[in-house]
Amino acid sequence: MKKVLGQIVKLFLLLFAISIITFALMKIAPIDPVASYLGADSNVTTEQYEYLTKVWGLDRPVLTQYLSWIKGVFRGDMGNSFAYHKPVFELISNASANTFMLMFTSWILSGILGFVLGLISAAHRGKLTDHIIQKICYVFASIPTFWFAILMLLLFAVQLGWFPAGMSAPIGMLEEDISVFDRIHHMILPAVTLSILGISKITLHTREKLIEALGSEYFLYAKANGESLRGAIRRHGLRNIVLPAITIQFGSISELFGGSVLVENVFSYAGLGNMTKVAGVKGDLPLLLAITLVSAIFVFGGNLCANLLYPVVDPRIREGVYNDR
């Protein structure tokens, strides 16, 4: 119970610190939300400009604005978006669902494929298969996310026409008429793009950890007893590389979130990433604060899941062996 309360306190302190930093940075940034909203060609008068500033509460002191926002958050009101003219909570709820499905799908695909490729590469160390997998990983690790997303869009959506060119749902359809298949069809290409770019790290990391296990004394002892390479990896290798794999996989959530911002903008996918660009360019402080907090919760939740899985995977952690040393 104490550990649970400790994690909750940590989360609240983290969100509080992030909200202060985000709020301060947005106030320092040379972006005028009112001017960005009106546009460069606007012909509004000074009185109209000042009225809009007052309506949005931007004429008040900075500390007053922040305290007012904090009070609203505790009441369940995150304010209204300057750019979308809708409640922030409503916007975040819809966009979070799309981003979560996109990230979760690509996270699962990259984790499974990366882990399997890492096993194959280590099992065939020094052979042609190992060299091919390593070279492919190095290539994908060096490719910029937005460039690869554009390439995938041009090839599979524009040239081949296998997938929609963008959006998270068909254009011109009512929300209630959009089927699950339509959403999955629009999500496949962005999810595959994100997962391919995330495979390299888990593959190379798994390969190195398994190679270390292959050179250990207990592994050599198993081979001396006539156990096959596949059987030795299954019995002695997997349990020693699962823990590092979990660490690297859950630790990649923050990178995956950053990659989703670029991918969603390339594919015009209606998620938090696409909304982040609009909020940043327009100086939409309430929306950007909410997106920052949601992304922090995503990352914190991933790290918390990894910590909870450690004792399940490794009995030594559950029994406190490491703490006794």
- Report yes or no on 83 lying in a domain: no
Q: Quote the pLDDT of residue 305.
A: 82
- Residue 127: phi and psi, rounded to 5, are -95, 180
Q: 145-178 pLDDT, tens per residue? A: 888 888 888 888 888 888 887 766 666 666 666 7
Please check whether residues 182 and 308 belong to one and the same domain. Answer: yes
Q: Quote the pLDDT of residue 170.
A: 66
Lowest mean pLDDT among 118-127, 170-179, 205-214, 264-273: 170-179
**CA nearest 321: which of 1, 242, 310, 309?**
310
Q: What angle do CA 292, 297, 301 make, to 5 degrees?
A: 150
Name the 3-class secondary structure at 77: coil
Q: Which residue has the higher pLDDT, 218 or 325?
A: 218
Q: How many domains does the chain have?
A: 2
Q: Quote the pLDDT of residue 135.
A: 92
Tell me the CA distances in angstroms from 289 to 73, 88, 272, 309, one per residue in order. Answer: 11, 10, 12, 30
Please check whether residues 294 and 261 belong to one and the same domain. Answer: yes
Please check whether residues 118 and 175 belong to one and the same domain. Answer: yes
pTM: 0.78
Please check whether residues 21 and 160 belong to one and the same domain. Answer: no
pLDDT band of residue 117 (cuts 50, 70, 90) is: very high
Asked whether residue 196 carries a pLDDT value surpassing 60, the answer given is yes
- Report yes or no on 172 lying in a domain: yes
Name the 3-class secondary structure at 267: coil
The answer to whether residues 240 and 315 touch, using CB atoms and an 8 Å cutoff, is: no
Q: Please give the DSSP secondary-structure letter assigned to residue 87.
A: B
- Report yes or no on 133 lying in a domain: yes
pLDDT band of residue 132 (cuts 50, 70, 90) is: very high
Please check whether residues 21 and 112 belong to one and the same domain. Answer: no
CA-atom Rg of the chain in angstroms: 24
Please check whether residues 132 and 209 belong to one and the same domain. Answer: yes
Whole-angstrom distance, CA of residue 198 vs CA of residue 298: 17
- Report yes or no on 221 lying in a domain: yes
Q: Quote the pLDDT of residue 41.
A: 61
Please check whether residues 20 and 154 belong to one and the same domain. Answer: no
Please check whether residues 119 and 30 belong to one and the same domain. Answer: no
Please check whether residues 193 and 242 belong to one and the same domain. Answer: yes
- Residue 135: phi and psi, rounded to 5, are -65, -40
What is the CATH classification number for the domain harbouring 211? 1.10.3720.10
- Report yes or no on 85 lying in a domain: no
For 49-82, b/e burial (b = at least 16 CB within 10 A) is eeebeeebebeeeeeebbeebeeebeeeebbbbb
Q: Which residue has the higher pLDDT, 283 or 227?
A: 283
Q: Which residue has the higher pLDDT, 105 or 320?
A: 105
Q: 258-285 pLDDT, tens per residue? A: 888 888 888 888 888 888 888 888 888 8
Query: Which domain range does residue 62 map to?
Result: 2-74
- Read off the pLDDT of each residue in 79-93 and give the average, rounded to a whole number: 86
Asked whether residue 63 carries a pLDDT value surpassing 80, the answer given is yes
Please check whether residues 125 and 15 belong to one and the same domain. Answer: no
Contacts of 222 (CB under 8 A, 6+ apart): 231, 232, 235, 236
Location of structure tokens 């995938």: 152
Location of structure tokens 């984790």: 111
Q: Please say which residue of 74, 107, 134 terminates a domain.
A: 74
- Report yes or no on 179 lying in a domain: yes
Please check whether residues 144 and 245 belong to one and the same domain. Answer: yes
Please check whether residues 10 and 102 belong to one and the same domain. Answer: no
Lowest mean pLDDT among 30-39, 118-127, 286-295: 30-39
- Report yes or no on 311 lying in a domain: yes
- Read off the pLDDT of each residue in 93-100 and give the average, rounded to a whole number: 85
Q: Please say which residue of 11, 43, 74 terminates a domain.
A: 74
- Report yes or no on 213 lying in a domain: yes
Number of separate helices (H) and strands (E) present in the chain: 16, 0
